Structure 1
Amino acid sequence: MNLKVLSLGAQHVMAMYAGAILVPLLVGRALNLTSNQLIYLVAIDLLTCGIATLLQAWKNKYFGIGLPVVLGASFVALSPMIAIGTRYGIPSIYGSIIVAGLFLFLFARYLGKLVRFFPPVVTGTVVVVIGLSLIPSGVKNMAGGTGNQEFGSLDNLLISISVIAFILVINRFFKGYVRSLAVLLGIIVGTALSAMMGKVDFQEVLEASWFQIPQPFYFGAPSFEIGPILTMLIVGLVIVVESTGVFLNLGQICNRPVTQDDLIRGYRAEGLAITLGGVFNAFPYNTCAQNIGLVQLSQNKSTNVVVAAGSILVFLGLVPKIAALVTIIPAPVLGGATVVLFGMVVTSGIRMLSLVDYTNQNNALIIACSISLGLGATIVPDLFSELPPSLRMLVSDGVITGSLTAILMNLFFNFRTILAPSSIQHEEDEKDMFEEKRVKGL
């Protein structure tokens, strides 16, 4: 592996690194993990991101799409994981992830047919609900994090607003690769500012070991509950829809038509990656859309580059001291960065919804009801408290409530259209149009 390939791989790691570290930090802190547990969670996430990337790059008869894709922890799973962990315990999170991963792997051949049930009116609504449900946690971190004695202090607000301002400056005055690193650079600058203000403790970094062997079921043997499993299956299907768009778009960029068999192998690789995340107590994984822009910028379409990126991630995941560096990021820094990221998630959903046919009033109703119920379940978590436990799990989380509402309402209003053969091509054209617009925007 020559220096050029290694440096291009490192660029891919940098582009997805902010998202890769933020998911474990947010989940770990929401579930009140200890410092050692949080360090393990970040390290194993980086390791499994790398393995998942290598699985997709390794095109063979059974799995791997063989395109220059990089996989990272899915933000779609963030809120459901926290909800499951809070209600059922951490082992239940990983039981549901394992089942979802195995489902995607075993039924990959049929998933392409399920994609028609997720047109832009559904996927756009789901993405908007995801972003809206995550924003409150980002805002709380801006103030210092729930339970912080200095919650809302001027120091915390100064740090978080400085991070946002730095990210905006990078986006205003830089382009291309530097702009793609804006959030990561904002986190670095914000942490440095916090250190100068005496708000960063490096003791955990000094005490962390230099090498760690991955440990299956680190948080205990997985448990299998029907509510969490159904929730994570929905998450898995949403991930497949997202990844399908990325696969098709990358195929166009690389001048390589993506066949049905390619998609099946891609779905299987993601199923394997998600199962791996469950076994090693990490996360569900999907393809990182931000890395598409990097492929276009570098014009290097070789899978060798993402193999290098995957190898770098595996190395980082084996070194807990690097993971410990991530865990010292103060809550206000995390808040400033995630408010921007989660806001961009909402924006991405709005772009998807721009493809919806609003001459059909039913589509407007689907969006209105889904977002209202999804946001309502987030703001008023006790809304469904009297329902049976297994059913309550499905609707107590805003993301799942909004997703289920969008899916079921779309079926109710558009059932005949969904099953019509002509609709399949129409939906593919919509997805291609959206992906083309998104890449041009990058």
Structure 2
Amino acid sequence: MKITKGKLASLGLQHVLAMYAGAVIVPLIVGASIGLTNDQLTYLISIDILMCGVASILQVWKNRITGIGLPVVLGCTFTAVGPIIAIGNQYGITSIYGSILVSGLVVVLIAKFFSKLIKFFPPVVTGSVVTIIGITLIPVAMNDLAGGEGSANFGSYTNLGLGFGTLLVILLIFRFGKGFVQAIAILLGILLGTVTAYFMGMVDLSPVAESTWLHLPTPFHFGTPEFHLTPILTMTLVAIVSLVESTGVYFALGDICDKKLEDKDLEKGYRAEGVAIILGGIFNSFPYTTFSQNVGLIQLSGVRTNNVIYTAGVMLVLLGLVPKIGALTLVIPSAVLGGAMVAMFGMVIAYGIKMLSNVDFASQENLLIVACSVGMGLGVTVVPEIFAELPEGITILTESGIVIGSLTAICLNIIFNFKKTDKTNMNDSEKAA
């Protein structure tokens, strides 16, 4: 399929819309929790969107030092939300950015070493991680489809009609559309859903009217960063855990794009992520990681070219510079986004299952790895308070279904499959003797 400039813009916009809600929700939650003013929150959202674009371009642009070279979209990691709020309330906002800066530097320094650990990520691990990512994101989609968690009309007929109607439109376009129309099924579904919501009086245009036309980023906008040991250790741990999540996404995209990833590719990808985190600290944004919803979008659209992500990255930068234009995406009702997310997150699950198809399930050990890791990931997502009594330093690892599920898969693979390999090698040596 030949991609014209117009088609490239539409495909790029589709990626922006797919990740926009997830990107802005992080600064909204953090800003509200640490008591930022409206002006500070406006800056936080604008710079967050701009830096998402910069980080994505940095990751897609493969050079000798950085960049995975795959159609990756980066956004704020949800794993960091809880720790950032805790650091902000205890140490202050400047300590948040001091710890982010150091954690990004650590990621840059360990990228080469971490990439050598590729043997710890066979298909049984990466497939489980991708599946867990999709499963743990589904509740987010369903909450949005119902109108957004905590909304006054949560689960109303109107919200359900809009959400499932958007999903139905996407499915119909994907079933009967061809070529480019089929590739932008998600975008068309969101647009038609928003237009319908407008005529139902559910679209609030006030954010557009209240936003300014231009907003320039300034380094250390919230003050000179401060450095405290506990916040630094906390954010470094969060950054390393995010690398595990990113590894699963890298392998999923590598599979989709028919590209075999080597440790050198992973090293550049990790290093790009570290540089993006450092930039986030300098301009007072957040740590960045790969966004899984865009993986599902790539699989659905079938368009795997990096030019689409470059286009999305430029759009995000422009949206960050012009808050009034960026505010247009805020008018999309939660129910419409939720309907589209069901398809995208569901595709992430499906692709994780496809990756697991390469696993030898005649092995009981592999069955247990998948069973326990997916079970832990889903369990913590459904019952997040299960580890609430543990020390605060440990809950960083246990409060996220993605984190606990991923770590379970990695640890069980080491316990079962590495031990099995050692026994096999020992038996072979005995036979040779």
Normalised TM-score (structure 1): 0.78
What pairs up with 1:136-215 in 2 under 5 angstroms? 136-215=139-218
What pairs up with 1:236-275 in 2 under 5 angstroms? 236-243=243-250, 246=253, 252=259, 261=264, 263-275=266-278
2:351 & 2:38 partners in 1: Cα distance?
A: 33
Deviates more, 1:269-278 or 1:281-290: 281-290
Task: Give the match's secondary structure for 1:340.
Answer: helix
Q: C-alpha deviations, 1:321-377, integer Å up to 9, x for none?
A: 121111222222222222222222222221222221111111111111112222222
RMSD: 3.6
What pairs up with 1:390-405 in 2 under 5 angstroms? 390-405=393-408
Counterpart of 2:363 in structure 1 is 360
Counterpart of 2:131 in structure 1 is 128
Mapped pair 1:115 → 2:118: yes
- The structure-2 alpha-carbon separation of the partners of 1:138 and 1:314, relative to structure 1 and needing over 3 Å to count, comes to same
Whichever residue aligns with residue 246 of structure 2, its letter is: I
Counterpart of 1:339 in structure 2 is 342
Structure 2, gaps ≥5 residues long: 426-433
Q: C-alpha deviations, 1:12-55, integer Å up to 9, x for none?
A: 52342233313124435555748766655554344223323443
Counterpart of 1:408 in structure 2 is 411
Task: Give the match's secondary structure for 1:232.
Answer: helix
- The structure-2 alpha-carbon separation of the partners of 1:382 and 1:93, relative to structure 1 and needing over 3 Å to count, comes to farther
- The structure-2 alpha-carbon separation of the partners of 1:271 and 1:169, relative to structure 1 and needing over 3 Å to count, comes to same
Please report how far the alpha carbon of residue 8 of structure 1 lies from its aligned counterpart in structure 2 after TM superposition. 6.2
Counterpart of 2:20 in structure 1 is 21
Task: Give the match's secondary structure for 1:382.
Answer: helix
Whichever residue aligns with residue 22 of structure 1, its letter is: A
Percent identity over the alignment? 41
- The structure-2 alpha-carbon separation of the partners of 1:392 and 1:270, relative to structure 1 and needing over 3 Å to count, comes to closer
2:261 & 2:356 partners in 1: Cα distance?
A: 25
2:149 & 2:301 partners in 1: Cα distance?
A: 39
Please report how far the alpha carbon of residue 180 of structure 1 lies from its aligned counterpart in structure 2 after TM superposition. 3.1
1:266 & 1:5 partners in 2: Cα distance?
A: 29
Normalised TM-score (structure 2): 0.80
Whichever residue aligns with residue 343 of structure 1, its letter is: G
Alignment partner of 2:73 out of 71, 74, 80: 71
Indicate if the aligned counterparts of 1:141 and 1:331 stay in contact, CA closer than 8 A.
Answer: yes
Indicate if the aligned counterparts of 1:24 and 1:45 stay in contact, CA closer than 8 A.
Answer: yes
Whichever residue aligns with residue 73 of structure 1, its letter is: G
Indicate if the aligned counterparts of 2:16 and 2:316 stay in contact, CA closer than 8 A.
Answer: no
Deviates more, 1:308-317 or 1:149-158: 308-317
Counterpart of 1:431 in structure 2 is none
- The structure-2 alpha-carbon separation of the partners of 1:251 and 1:139, relative to structure 1 and needing over 3 Å to count, comes to closer
Name the count of aligned residue pairs.
407
1:104 & 1:264 partners in 2: Cα distance?
A: 10
2:381 & 2:408 partners in 1: Cα distance?
A: 14
Please report how far the alpha carbon of residue 293 of structure 1 lies from its aligned counterpart in structure 2 after TM superposition. 6.8
Counterpart of 2:9 in structure 1 is 10
Task: Give the match's secondary structure for 1:73.
Answer: strand
Structure 1, gaps ≥5 residues long: 423-442
Task: Give the match's secondary structure for 1:383.
Answer: helix
Mapped pair 1:235 → 2:235: no
Indicate if the aligned counterparts of 2:127 and 2:248 stay in contact, CA closer than 8 A.
Answer: no
Mapped pair 1:284 → 2:288: yes
Counterpart of 1:386 in structure 2 is 389
Counterpart of 2:377 in structure 1 is 374
- The structure-2 alpha-carbon separation of the partners of 1:317 and 1:205, relative to structure 1 and needing over 3 Å to count, comes to same
Counterpart of 1:428 in structure 2 is none
